[in-house]
Amino acid sequence: MRSSALVVCLRDRVAPLLHGRYTDAVGRRLFTAAAHLSRLAGWTAFDRGHHAAAQRHYVQALRLARAAGDVAFGGYTLACAALQATLRGWHDHAIDMCQGAHERAKHQAPARVLAFTALIEARAHARAGDRRAAAHALSTSERLLGQAERQQGVEPDWIDFYSPARMAADAVEIHRDLHLPAAARRWNEQAAMPTDQFARSYGLRLTVLATTHLQGPVTGCGSRARVRPARSRRAVHRQLGPSQRLHPRPRPPAGSLERPRSRPGSHPSHPH
């Protein structure tokens, strides 16, 4: 695989800086910036279907975030890695990763970050076909997101994309995966986002919405918007529900991001 410009930047520009001399304050900022670049490299590789490379970048981002003492970003990175695991069929691993991220960051991360980890957990439960657990995780995400919206406190700008509309858009996919098409369509009514800023997300949501019409009767008129075909492997994989894929379930590679499976009841409970 040819190295992307981002990977070259990490290797040739960022890595030498990390081995330099600097104060503690500068070091924390430097390691945080490197963690952000590594997570982005992981997401880019994931989007292109290069899963082993994505996993390596996510692990690197987690280590850099830990070195920077940035617990919130570490939790966010682990949630991103969990999404990759979810879409590859490793539901149990993804659930463990999300619960681990929440447990580690619950006293230090902003509510919006914790809400995002709960959202990805809901997506993993939905892919696993667990309606009750998915509903609980989605309810937790909604509660935490509402808390973040009310507080309007100081939050990192890298999580500001996670809004009520974004949660609703993911809820469409969650309910599609749970074979609840009517609920998916109701959530879609709350998922409006500016198409000039989120054109790709809008197109993906419409495609997921279209698949719900294969699960049950269509009521009302569908959108007339024209959407270009998805080009990334991740996008194509996401558009299809679990029952629409014909390949066997893959096995997680050795050394995958995981921790021992938590015992029932070990996940912190949250009021609905």
Q: For position 35, what pLDDT does the model report?
A: 97
Is the pLDDT reported for residue 261 higher than 90?
no
CB 35 within 8 A of CB 73: yes
On the question of pLDDT at 256 being above 50, the answer is no
Mean pLDDT, the chain, rounded, equals 82
Which one of 9-13, 47-51, 95-99, 244-248 scores highest in mean pLDDT? 95-99
CA distance 250 to 272: 34
Q: What is the pLDDT of residue 216?
A: 74
Give Cβ neighbours of residue 86 (< 8 Å, ≥ 6 apart).
94, 120, 123, 124, 127
**Distance from C-alpha of 198 to C-alpha of 174, rounded to nearest angstrom:** 19
Exposure class string for 19-30: b at 16+ Cβ within 10 A, else e = eeeeeeeebeeb
Spatial separation of the C-alpha atoms in residues 62 and 70, rounded to whole Å: 9
> What integer pLDDT is reported at residue 238 of this predicted model?
52
Q: Is the dihedral of CA 157, 159, 163, 169 positive or negative?
A: positive
Q: What is the pLDDT of residue 241?
A: 56
Q: What is the pLDDT, as a whole number, of residue 221?
A: 41
- What's the pLDDT score for residue 205? 87
Instruction: Please tell me the total number of residues recorded for the chain in this structure.
Output: 272
What pTM was estimated for this model as a whole? 0.78
Residue 3 has a pLDDT of: 59
pLDDT at 255: 36
pLDDT at 100: 96
pLDDT score, position 234: 55
C-alpha dihedral, 234 to 86 to 162 to 4, nearest 10°: -40
Query: What CA–CA distance (Å, rounded) separates 144 from 229?
Result: 34
62 neighbors 78 (Cβ within 8 angstroms): yes
User: What is the per-residue pLDDT across 91-136, written as a single tens digit (0 to 9) for each?
Assistant: 999 999 999 999 999 999 999 999 999 999 999 999 999 999 999 9
At 242, the pLDDT band (50, 70, 90 cuts) reads low
* Res 137: pLDDT: 98
Tens digits of residue pLDDT in 136-192: 999 999 999 999 999 877 899 999 999 999 999 999 999 999 999 999 999 999 998
Q: In the 8-state DSSP scheme, what is residue 213?
A: T
- Reading the block at residue 264, the tokens are 């029932």
